[in-house]
Amino acid sequence: MTVVADLHNHSCLSPCGDLENSPGALCRRAAELGISMLGLTDHNSARNCPAFEETCRREGIIPVFGTETTTREEVHILSLFGSVREALDWGDWVYERLPDFRHDPEKFGDQAVVDADENILDFEERYLIPAIDASIEEIAEETLRRGGLIIPAHIDRTATSIASQLGFLPDQRFSALEVTRLPPPFDTRGHTLICDSDAHFLDDMGKRTFSFEISPGDSSPFAALARVLREGAVRLSIPAPA
pLDDT digits (tens, 9 = 90+) for 10-24: 999 999 877 899 999
Q: pLDDT tens string for the chain (242 positions)?
A: 999 999 999 999 999 877 899 999 999 999 999 999 999 999 999 999 999 999 999 999 999 999 999 999 999 999 999 999 999 999 999 999 999 999 998 888 899 999 999 999 999 999 999 999 999 999 999 999 999 999 999 999 999 999 999 999 999 999 999 999 999 999 999 999 999 999 999 999 999 999 999 998 889 999 999 999 999 999 999 987 65
Considering the domain boundaries, does residue 180 fall inside one? Answer: yes
Per-residue pLDDT, 106: 87
Q: Left, alpha or beta for 74 (phi > 0: left; psi -120 to 50: alpha)?
A: left
Considering the domain boundaries, does residue 203 fall inside one? Answer: yes
Considering the domain boundaries, does residue 178 fall inside one? Answer: yes
Considering the domain boundaries, does residue 138 fall inside one? Answer: yes
Q: What is the pTM of this model?
A: 0.96
Considering the domain boundaries, does residue 50 fall inside one? Answer: yes
Considering the domain boundaries, does residue 153 fall inside one? Answer: yes
| Count of the separate structural domains present in the chain | 1
Per-residue pLDDT, 212: 98
Considering the domain boundaries, does residue 242 fall inside one? Answer: no
**How many angstroms separate the CA atoms of 8 and 17, rounded?**
13
Per-residue pLDDT, 144: 98
Q: How far is the CA of 235 from the CAs of 4, 72, 77, in angstroms?
A: 9, 32, 21
Considering the domain boundaries, does residue 59 fall inside one? Answer: yes
Q: How far is the CA of 70 from the CAs of 63, 138, 148, 161, in angstroms?
A: 22, 12, 17, 10
Per-residue pLDDT, 241: 67
pLDDT, tens digit, for every residue of 151-183?
999 999 999 999 999 999 999 999 999 999 999
Per-residue pLDDT, 242: 54
CATH code of 98's domain:
3.20.20.140
**Domain range for residue 94?**
2-237
Closest CA to 87 of 120, 117, 47: 47
